[in-house]
Amino acid sequence: MVTRKDVAKKAGVSTATVSRVTSGRGYVSEEAREKVQKAIGALNYIPNNIAKSLTQNRSNVVAVLVEDLTNPYYLQILDAMEREGAKYNLIISLFAVNKNDIDMVMTGLIENRVCAIINLALFACNEKYISILEELEIYTVNIKPRNVGELRIHLNHALGIDSICAYLRDKGRRRLAYLAALGEELVRQDERLNAYLVSRKKYGLSEDDRLVVFANYPEERAFAVGYQSAKRLCERDVPFDSVLCMNDSVALGAMKYFQEKGFSIPAQVCVIGCDNIFMGQYVTPSLSTIDVETERQGIAYIRAIVRREGPRTEEIRATFIPRESIV
């Protein structure tokens, strides 16, 4: 293994000088820099990032926590994070967590001195980790229960949901159901339900309680939850003419149920999802949805990590995207 020492010897300088040129910090004469670079090339030197991490007490791994690995929405964010992260030599790692194992995952991440933890999942971690995370200066997003501290990305779902309700009212659809997917506890952290309740009132849509269907996502896969929720909605036999879903996967599952039952979409029932996953454009009918700028979210996270940004809220505009699944 060729190390900094070899490079230093070959270049006729000290290891400190080698460090100076590789890190780009500190003064190095042009002459020394050239010699070092030549030596690096000649020796085919590859730095050992682990050693570097040890001295800095921090690695270059960013952990992204999600509750559902199969949700394409997260992948779109990850994709953006990865491309942006590559610019800063950051490695992005995805972790699936559930209520039970999030603490185990956290322990692992701390042991590995990840440089940041972006919690996209619905679960908060145990309070006992907070002080450790702070001591180690691990940059966290959405780790603490109330998410005080670092960057907060606020998905302003209300905007998109408001547009949808307005749109439906104009089309004469007044019975919009909501498939919340989550159970009654988790749903409290989800703005969407509330935005739906506010908007349906605002635009004079039906306020029947039975139009809201809860379920047990993420314990159960999103597609299955959507399918089952649509079924339960039908069984309640409360009239409805359109369905808003917590995310696109749930919407796809719901659409499947409606289509199996012979409902015509959108004539009999409009279906609207949330997150604007690519796939939504390729189903039939194509899925109406709410775009939440996944690209921008991913980039914002990386920038915040790199700059170690303090408390700041980035507002994401949720935009209604009508497609074939809506009248």
Partner DNA sequence: ATGAAAGCGCTAACAG
Partner DNA sequence: CTGTTAGCGCTTTCAT
The residues binding DNA (CB under 7 A) are 1, 3-5, 12-20, 22-23, 25-29, 31-33, 47-48, 51-52, 54-57
Residue 320 φ then ψ, to 5°: -70, 130
Verify binding: residue 183, a second copy, rule CB under 8 A: no
Residue with Cβ nearer DNA (106 or 215) = 106
- Whole-angstrom distance, CA of residue 109 vs CA of residue 298: 20
Footprint of a second copy on 202-221 (CB under 8 A): 221
Beta bridge partners of 289: 321
Coil, helix or strand at residue 283: coil
205 binds, among DNA, a second copy, none (CB under 5 to 8 A by kind): none
Q: How far apart are CA 95 and CA 108, in angstroms?
A: 11
Asked if 186 and 122 touch (Cβ cutoff 8 Å), the reply is: yes
**What are the angstrom distances between the C-alpha of 246 and each of 55, 84, 242, 312?**
45, 28, 14, 26
Residue type, 154: H
Query: Least CB distance from residue 59 to a second copy, whole Å?
Result: 6
Min CB(174)–a second copy separation in Å: 27
Query: Which partner from the list DNA, a second copy, none does 25 bind, CB cut-off 5 to 8 Å by kind?
Result: DNA
- Shortest Cβ 11–DNA spacing (Å): 8
Asked if omega into 266 is within 30° of 0 (cis), the reply is yes
Helix residue ranges per DSSP H, the chain: 4-11, 15-23, 30-43, 49-56, 72-86, 102-111, 128-135, 157-170, 191-202, 222-235, 248-260, 294-307
Kindly state the smallest distance separating residue 35's Cβ from DNA, in Å: 9
Torsional sign, CA 54, 59, 60, 61: positive
Stretch that binds a second copy, among 13-21, 68-76, 189-197, 233-241 (CB under 8 A): 68-76
Regarding 276 and contact with a second copy (CB under 8 A), the answer is: no
Instruction: Report yes or no: 249 and 283 within 8 Å, Cβ to Cβ.
Output: no
178: contact with a second copy by CB under 8 A? no
Map the footprint of a second copy across residues 85-114, applying CB under 8 A: 86, 89, 91-96, 101, 104-105, 107-108, 110-113
Least spacing, CB of residue 131 vs DNA, in Å: 16
Helices (H), 87-126: 102-111
Instruction: Note whether 42 binds a second copy by CB under 8 A.
Output: no
Closer residue to DNA, CB minimum distance, 28 or 177: 28
Strand order in the sheet with 212-213: 212-213, 176-179, 242-245, 270-272
Does residue 59 belong to the site contacting a second copy (CB under 8 A)? yes
Q: Which is nearer to DNA, 14 or 259 (CB)?
A: 14
In whole angstroms, how close is the CB of 58 to DNA at the nearest point?
10
- 97's contact among DNA, a second copy, none, with CB below 5 to 8 A by partner kind, is none
Q: Which residues bind a second copy (CB under 8 A)?
A: 1, 44, 46-51, 53-54, 57, 59-61, 69-70, 72, 75-76, 78-79, 82-83, 86, 89, 91-96, 101, 104-105, 107-108, 110-113, 132, 135-136, 221, 223, 226-227, 249, 252-253, 255-256, 259-260, 278-279, 281-284, 286
